[in-house]
Amino acid sequence: MPPKRTREHLSRQVNEATSSAFAPEFLAKRSQNHLDELERSNYSLSASVNVDEHDDEPTTGKYSTKGPTKKKSTMNVRSALLYRKNLSALIEESGIASLPPSVPTYLTAVASPPKYPPRLICSDEQAIDAHLLMLYEVSKFLVLRANLSIPSVYAAPPTGDLRWRAPQTPADNSSVVQLANTQPLPCFQAPTGEASTNPLGALSKRASAPGSPTEDCLFLNVYFPGDTIPVEPLPTLVWIHGGGYIMGGADTFTGSDLMREANNEILLVIIQYRLGLFGFLAGSEVKEDGDLNAGLLDQDFALRWVQTHILQFGGDPSKVTIWGESAGAGSVLQHIVAQDGRTSPQLFRGAITSSTFLPSQYMFNDSVPELLYSEVVSQAQCTTANDSLACLRTVDAGTLGTINSDINAGGFFGTFLFVPVVDGTFITKRPTEVLKQGTVNGKALLSITNANEGTIFVNQTAPITNVSLYASTLFPKLGSQAEIAAQLYANLGTPLQQDDLVMGESIFICPTYYLLNSFPDSGWKGEFAVPPATHGADVVYYFTSQGTPGFNNTDFLAAFQAAFMSFVISQDPNDKLSPTITPSWNIYSQGNTEMIFNKTVDDQPDVNVNSTDNDLLERCNFWNTVGALTGQ
What is the distance between the alpha carbons of residues 276 and 282, in angstroms, rounded to a whole number?
Answer: 11
Q: Given a cut of 50, is residue 604 above it in pLDDT? A: yes
pLDDT in the model for residue 183: 66
pLDDT in the model for residue 231: 72
What is the distance between the alpha carbons of residues 559 and 545, in angstroms, rounded to a whole number?
Answer: 18
Lowest mean pLDDT among 41-45, 79-83, 250-254, 469-473: 41-45
The mean pLDDT value for 359-373 works out to 97
- Give the number of other Cβ atoms within 10 Å of residue 138's Cβ: 24
∠ CA 43-48-52, nearest 5°, is: 105
- Quickly state the pLDDT bin for 172 (edges 50, 70, 90): low
What is the distance between the alpha carbons of residues 255 and 251, in angstroms, rounded to a whole number?
Answer: 10
CA dihedral 13, 14, 17, 19 (to 10 degrees): -120
Half-sphere exposure of 365 (CA within 13 A, CB side): 5
- Quickly state the pLDDT bin for 89 (edges 50, 70, 90): very low
Amino acid at residue number 410: G
pLDDT in the model for residue 195: 56
Q: Given a cut of 60, is residue 379 above it in pLDDT? A: yes
Dihedral sign, Cα of residue 461, residue 466, residue 468, residue 469? negative
The mean pLDDT value for 108-113 works out to 26
- Quickly state the pLDDT bin for 348 (edges 50, 70, 90): very high
Higher-confidence residue of 15 and 106: namely: 15
Q: How would you classify the pairing of strands 315-325 and 147-153?
A: unpaired
The mean pLDDT value for 549-572 works out to 96
Burial class for 15, CB neighbours closer than 10 Å (0-12, 13-18, 19+): middle
Helix H or strand E segment including 222: strand 219-225
Q: Given a cut of 90, is residue 242 above it in pLDDT? A: yes
3-state SS, one letter per residue, for 260-322: HHCCCCCEEEEECCCCHHHHHCCCHHHHHHCCCCHHHHHHHHHHHHHHHHHHHHCEEEEEEEE
The mean pLDDT value for 109-129 works out to 32
Q: Given a cut of 80, is residue 500 above it in pLDDT? A: yes
User: By percentage, how much of the chain surpasses pLDDT 90?
Assistant: 60
Higher-confidence residue of 614 and 20: namely: 614
Residue 210 CB partners (closer than 8 Å, separation 6+): 186, 189, 247, 405
- Quickly state the pLDDT bin for 168 (edges 50, 70, 90): confident
Amino acid at residue number 572: D
Q: Given a cut of 60, is residue 287 above it in pLDDT? A: yes
Amino acid at residue number 583: P
- Quickly state the pLDDT bin for 332 (edges 50, 70, 90): very high
Helix H or strand E segment including 482: helix 481-488
What is the distance between the alpha carbons of residues 279 and 256, in angstroms, rounded to a whole number?
Answer: 28
- Quickly state the pLDDT bin for 170 (edges 50, 70, 90): confident
- Give the number of other Cβ atoms within 10 Å of residue 550's Cβ: 13
Domains assigned to the chain:
1-148+166-182 (no CATH), 186-457+497-613 (3.40.50.1820)
The mean pLDDT value for 527-551 works out to 96
With beta carbons less than 8 A apart as the criterion, state whether 171 and 154 touch.
no
Q: How would you label 434-451 residue by residue, b for 16+ Cβ within 10 Å and e otherwise? A: bbeeeebbbebbbbbbbb
The mean pLDDT value for 406-413 works out to 92
Tell me if residue 572 falls in helix, strand or coil.
coil
What length is written for the chain?
Answer: 632
Amino acid at residue number 155: A
Q: Given a cut of 60, is residue 559 above it in pLDDT? A: yes
Q: Given a cut of 70, is residue 203 above it in pLDDT? A: no
- Helix, strand, coil percentages for the chain (3-state, nearest 5): 40, 15, 50
Dihedral sign, Cα of residue 443, residue 609, residue 576, residue 264? positive
Q: Given a cut of 70, is residue 62 above it in pLDDT? A: no
pLDDT in the model for residue 224: 82
Q: Given a cut of 90, is residue 499 above it in pLDDT? A: yes
pLDDT in the model for residue 259: 93
Lowest mean pLDDT among 105-109, 383-387, 477-481, 568-572: 105-109
Phi, psi (5° rounding) for residue 6? -70, 160
Neighbouring-strand partners of residue 526: 448, 595
What is the distance between the alpha carbons of residues 501 and 451, in angstroms, rounded to a whole number?
Answer: 10
3-state SS, one letter per residue, for 155-178: CCCCCHHHCCCCCCCCCCCCCCEE
- Give the number of other Cβ atoms within 10 Å of residue 285's Cβ: 20
User: By percentage, how much of the chain surpasses pLDDT 70?
Assistant: 70
With beta carbons less than 8 A apart as the criterion, state whether 44 and 69 touch.
no
Task: Dump pLDDT digits (tens) for 304-326.
Answer: 999 999 998 899 999 999 999 99
* Cis peptide bond N-terminal to 583, omega within 30: no
pLDDT in the model for residue 213: 79
Higher-confidence residue of 316 and 127: namely: 316
Helix H or strand E segment including 474: helix 467-474
What is the distance between the alpha carbons of residues 446 and 354, in angstroms, rounded to a whole number?
Answer: 9
Residue 396 CB partners (closer than 8 Å, separation 6+): none
The mean pLDDT value for 259-274 works out to 94
Tell me if residue 446 falls in helix, strand or coil.
strand
What is the distance between the alpha carbons of residues 258 and 545, in angstroms, rounded to a whole number?
Answer: 10
Phi, psi (5° rounding) for residue 580? -75, -15
Tell me if residue 561 falls in helix, strand or coil.
helix
The mean pLDDT value for 384-392 works out to 97
∠ CA 492-497-501, nearest 5°, is: 75
Lowest mean pLDDT among 217-221, 398-402, 624-628: 217-221
Task: Give 582-609 as a DSSP string.
Answer: --PPPPTTTTTEEEEEEE-TTS-EEEEE
Lowest mean pLDDT among 24-28, 440-444, 480-484, 608-612: 24-28
Phi, psi (5° rounding) for residue 78? -65, -45
Tell me if residue 486 falls in helix, strand or coil.
helix
* Cis peptide bond N-terminal to 345, omega within 30: yes
pLDDT in the model for residue 191: 77
What is the distance between the alpha carbons of residues 400 and 119, in angstroms, rounded to a whole number?
Answer: 23
- Give the number of other Cβ atoms within 10 Å of residue 557's Cβ: 17
What is the distance between the alpha carbons of residues 532 and 105, in angstroms, rounded to a whole number?
Answer: 41
Q: Given a cut of 70, is residue 302 above it in pLDDT? A: yes
Burial class for 479, CB neighbours closer than 10 Å (0-12, 13-18, 19+): exposed
The mean pLDDT value for 248-261 works out to 92
∠ CA 103-105-111, nearest 5°, is: 140
Lowest mean pLDDT among 224-233, 248-257, 356-365: 224-233
Tell me if residue 219 falls in helix, strand or coil.
strand
Higher-confidence residue of 453 and 13: namely: 453
pLDDT in the model for residue 14: 32
